[in-house]
Amino acid sequence: MGYKVVVVGATGNVGREMLNILEERAFPVDEIAALASRRSLGTEVSFGDKTLKTQDLDAFDFTGWDIALFAIGSDATKKYAPVAAKAGCIVIDNSSLYRYDPDVPLVVPEVNPEAVEGYSKKNIIANPNCSTAQMVVALKPLHDRAKIKRVVVSTYQSVSGSGKDGMDELWDQTKAVYNPTDEVAPKVYPKQIAFNVIPHIDVFLEDGSTKEEWKMVAETKKIVDSSIKVTATCVRVPVFVGHAEAINIETEEFLDEDEARDILREAPGIMVVDKREDGGYVTPVECVGDFATFISRIRQDSTIENGLNFWCVSDNLRKGAALNAVQIAETLGNRVLKKG
Ligand SMILES: NC(=O)c1ccc[n+]([C@@H]2O[C@H](COP(=O)([O-])OP(=O)(O)OC[C@H]3O[C@@H](n4cnc5c(N)ncnc54)[C@H](OP(=O)(O)O)[C@@H]3O)[C@@H](O)[C@H]2O)c1
């Protein structure tokens, strides 16, 4: 016996990827429903070799459904997630709405799988921000060995992190650069994204950081350890899919770069590709469609006593969103629901 699963936001970047991943990982699905806004009523989406017709979220009755994977913005989530949860359907949410709620677990299954058990207070489990998800998969095994005190991270985030509209804007502006009569003014982003980089994701906060940067700080503390200090600079780059991060960590105990490499090689969800030669590292275009978080360029930071640098790349629509959500559903199934 399997589960009755709802994918909410099935016409979006993350929703489509959720349908792919449920099928690829052979999640035990007895019945599946694909939902989006009324605008998309009847739009066809793929689930393995089946085609599903998208239904209207507003008219959907969640009663009798086991798990709903939500991938719509925070505003729509605020309206519909409580409706699903109240009907007895467990919500796994990709928006930022519930991530910092003390009654909602924030889960990355390689890091804090036991946290899923706290789902029952609201019948909701939150999925972290895409940049946090891939980073904490790498931090956790290093933290367990040498206790991380401080993290300095700079991100290089692809436009698919802003949904379908972000991808369209990069595509249209890129074409327009070669055909200036088609000039495309920035709409999704505050400045031109084609052939450019923008050090600004989400809104500015009072201290001069952005909300995206704050999310990496708050979520790392909630998922890994509240004592870890994180400072982040989040940058949007003209890449369609795949986020990259340059990460520097300072640890309490000394950790040699070779031992760090071995620890990461053994860690769940991680693939180490670290040859000190031309091309001996992974870049965003190579990680697309993969489940792993790739780690390269592991090296000592000799400017501090116990420091390491490394490069971290992952498919933001997968580990950063859809894969992590499906892994949460798997963890919930194995630890709590035990149906599959
Ligand atoms: N992309 C990432 O890397 C990433 C990572 C982590 C978390 N997330 C989060 O995941 C969510 C979805 O992101 P995305 O990249 O998939 O966005 P997207 O490509 O723009 O897709 C948005 C989806 O939400 C649906 N939707 C929007 N408003 C709705 C409403 N009022 N009622 C019903 N459905 C509605 C859309 O349906 P229609 O097609 O009918 O409009 C579409 O299916 C967002 O909360 C985002 O912050 C994204």
Residue found under tokens 């592991």: 298
User: Which amino acid residue places its CA nearest to atom 1 of ligand 1?
Assistant: 161
To the question of whether residue 42 is assigned a binding role by annotation, the answer is no
To the question of whether residue 309 is assigned a binding role by annotation, the answer is no
Domain architecture of the chain: domains with CATH: 3-128+321-337 (3.40.50.720), 131-315 (3.30.360.10)
Asked whether residue 1 carries a pLDDT value surpassing 90, the answer given is no
- The verdict on pTM exceeding 0.85 is yes
Please report which confidence band the pLDDT of residue 340 belongs to, taking 50, 70 and 90 as the band edges: low
Distance CA 111, CA 123 (A): 21
Q: How close is the Cα of 69 to the center of ligand 1, in Å?
A: 11
Distance CA 125, CA 80 (A): 14
User: Which residues are known catalytic residues?
Assistant: 130, 243
Alpha carbon separation from 244 to 135, 314, 317 (Å, rounded): 10, 7, 13
- Which range is least confidently modeled, 28-37, 39-48, 101-110, 173-182? 173-182
The string of pLDDT tens digits covering residues 96-126 is 999 999 999 999 999 999 999 999 999 999 9
Q: Which atom of ligand 1 is nearest to the CA of 57?
A: 33
Check residue 179 and report its DSSP letter. Answer: S
What mean pLDDT, rounded, does the chain reach? 97
Ligand 1 pocket mutation, candidates 8, 16, 37, 201, criterion most atoms within 8 A of CB: 37
92 pocket-lining for ligand 1 (C-beta < 6 Å): no
Alpha carbon separation from 310 to 26, 123, 135, 151, 298 (Å, rounded): 33, 37, 11, 11, 4
Distance CA 26, CA 340 (A): 10
User: Which amino acid residue places its CA nearest to atom 4 of ligand 1?
Assistant: 161
The string of pLDDT tens digits covering residues 124-134 is 999 999 999 99
Cβ–Cβ under 8 Å, residues 289 and 312: no
User: Which amino acid residue places its CA nearest to atom 37 of ligand 1?
Assistant: 36
69 pocket-lining for ligand 1 (C-beta < 6 Å): no
To the question of whether residue 105 is assigned a binding role by annotation, the answer is no
Strand pairing category for 307-314 and 293-300: antiparallel
User: Which amino acid residue places its CA nearest to atom 21 of ligand 1?
Assistant: 12
Asked whether residue 180 carries a pLDDT value surpassing 90, the answer given is no
The string of pLDDT tens digits covering residues 161-170 is 999 999 999 9
Residue 77, number of CB atoms within 10 A of its CB: 23
Give me 55's structure tokens.
Answer: 């239904």
Question: Distance from first CA to last CA of the chain, Å, rounded?
Answer: 6
To the question of whether residue 283 is assigned a binding role by annotation, the answer is no
User: Which amino acid residue places its CA nearest to atom 10 of ligand 1?
Assistant: 71
The string of pLDDT tens digits covering residues 65-76 is 999 999 999 999
Q: How close is the Cα of 20 to the center of ligand 1, in Å?
A: 16
128 pocket-lining for ligand 1 (C-beta < 6 Å): no
The string of pLDDT tens digits covering residues 203-259 is 999 999 999 999 999 999 999 999 999 999 999 999 999 999 999 999 999 999 999
Cβ–Cβ under 8 Å, residues 228 and 111: no
Q: How close is the Cα of 54 to the center of ligand 1, in Å?
A: 14
E-state strands within 1-87: 3-8, 29-36, 44-47, 50-53, 55-56, 67-70
Beta-ladder partners of 299: 309
